[in-house]
Amino acid sequence: MKKNLDIQLQALLEKEQLRQRQGINLIASENYASQEVMNVSGSVLCNKYVEGYPGLRYYSGCGVYDQIEQLAIDRFKSIFKADHVNVQPHSGSQANAAVYLALLQPGDTILSMDLAAGGHLSHGHKVNWTHQFYNIVSYGVDPISYQINYDQIEALAIACKPKLIIAGASAYSRIIDFEKFAQIADKVGALFLADIAHLAGLIAVGLHPSPVGFADVITMTTHKTFQGPRGGVIMCKQQFAQKIDKMLMPGMQGGALMNHVAAKAVAALQVSQPEFLLYQKQVIKNAQVAAQECMKLGYRVLTGGTDNHMFLIDVQSIGLNGRQVEEILESVDIFVNRNAIAFDRQPPLSPSGIRIGTAAITTCRAQESDMITIIHLIDRAIKNCNQPQVLDSIKEEVHAFMAQLFS
């Protein structure tokens, strides 16, 4: 392509680059991939069709790709100590779908966390395809502590006899006891899937207990706390490997996106470096300090804090809904997402909560003192939401803060 042919798209890219550089990103499911990861994602590897698995391909010219995919598989195996790894899922939802389709029959019962309590769409929400194919029974959280109640899950499991129990969440800030889930699954003869999309980076460095050895299958994404390219990975016990691999390809997907598979390998190498442990420790410290500061300022933080990279604030108590707060903060270039909270009476488009995550801002080198500054910027924006001039000046402060962070 001629240089500068696509001026329109170039302008949009530059706009987005600026947004990412000037704004404070607190979206818990996002992060910034390294230049090395992005280089590989946008490399010549995007030109090749590579169907099948290493050693058994349906196209010629795949030799290098066999080595790339094997490298990715070996790196994930070594990080997580998993028996079997499939690095081809295009996303976390595709990874979950492959597991369901490989191991369940239509009509089987899945016991999973309710979206409103912190679960994920692909675990069986009524607007997701899974809801039409399977009988979904949901567990929530304790109405007082807002934490997972394992006794409730066990009672539900005994009552509904699920074929599959899923542990894992998109909006849950406390340790998940995978061993306890495995015991419940064992007791009722269910398979156990741990979806560690959010926790993968923390688990990789031992800052959250691992489900490996407890779960039959583990799914994850590579772009959240794992800090890699967008994509999914499946890990499982050897006995499920063949069924899952076959269901993913050729069952659901065609050619793997080898540029992304290679970028997953790069991310896995980065995760194995000593700096990644320090980074993840900082992610957790930053989330804990931010949650504390919110509570000091009078906000209601669910569960009273966090053990991981995120926490939820109930903004109903300040007379707003999550959508309003999301919009106020977006107007000053601070990015959070509105989120349902357990027992929410508000509709999903304007729920009662916001979710705050620290993986992305910690990649930008934020420390605890920076988190305190950020929470005060958030608080001032909320309190001055009807003062456009004040919001303009907060936005300038946000840009100056980010410039100083990068300096």
Q: Which residues are catalytic?
A: 49, 51, 195, 221, 224, 230
Is the CB of 71 or the CB of 313 nearer to ligand DSN? 313
Query: Collapsing DSSP states into helix, strand and coil, what is residue 299?
Result: coil
Exactly one of 170, 270, 352, 362 binds ligand DSN (CB under 6 A); which one?
A: 170
Question: Distance between CA atoms of 258 and 244, rounded to whole angstroms?
Answer: 19
Is the CB of 69 or the CB of 307 nearer to ligand DSN? 307
- Rule CB under 6 A: say whether 308 interacts with ligand DSN: no
Is the CB of 157 or the CB of 302 nearer to ligand DSN? 302
User: Of all residues in this chain, which one has the CB nearest to ligand DSN in the complex?
Assistant: 29
Describe the crossing of helices 388-406 and 7-22 by its angle, rounded to 10 degrees: 90
Is the CB of 120 or the CB of 309 nearer to ligand DSN? 120
| Both structure tokens of 46 | 């995007």
Q: How many residues bind ligand DSN (CB under 6 A)?
A: 4
- HSE of 304, CA atoms in CB hemisphere, 13 A: 3
H or E stretch at 220: strand 217-221
Q: What is the DSSP string of 51-65?
A: -EETTEESSSS-HHH
Cβ 195 to ligand DSN shortest distance, Å: 10
Tokens 């840009």 map to which residue?
399
Cβ 329 to ligand DSN shortest distance, Å: 16
Cβ 332 to ligand DSN shortest distance, Å: 21
Question: Distance between CA atoms of 151 and 153, rounded to whole angstroms?
Answer: 5
Strand pairing class (191-195; 164-167): parallel
CA-based nearest residue to 122, from 94, 102, 156, 148: 94
Exactly one of 24, 26, 29, 176 binds ligand DSN (CB under 6 A); which one?
A: 29
Is the CB of 96 or the CB of 109 nearer to ligand DSN? 96
Is the CB of 29 or the CB of 270 nearer to ligand DSN? 29
Cβ 29 to ligand DSN shortest distance, Å: 3
Q: How far is CA 325 from CA 58, 306, 378, in A?
A: 50, 21, 9
* Contacts with ligand DSN, 90-129, as mask; x by CB under 6 A: --x---------------------------x---------
Give me the phi and psi of 148, to 5 degrees please.
-60, 135
Is the CB of 109 or the CB of 227 nearer to ligand DSN? 227
Cβ 100 to ligand DSN shortest distance, Å: 16
**Helix and strand numbers, DSSP H then E, in the chain:** 15, 15
Window 194-233: residues binding ligand DSN (CB under 6 A): none
Cβ 191 to ligand DSN shortest distance, Å: 22
Question: Distance between CA atoms of 229 and 218, rounded to whole angstroms?
Answer: 18
Query: Collapsing DSSP states into helix, strand and coil, what is residue 125?
Result: coil
Question: Distance between CA atoms of 358 and 287, rounded to whole angstroms?
Answer: 6
Describe the crossing of helices 92-103 and 238-246 by its angle, rounded to 10 degrees: 110
Question: How would you list the strands of the sheet with 191-195, edge to edge?
Answer: 84-86, 232-236, 217-221, 191-195, 164-167, 109-113, 135-139
Cβ 170 to ligand DSN shortest distance, Å: 3
**Which residues lie near ligand DSN (CB under 6 A)?**
29, 92, 120, 170
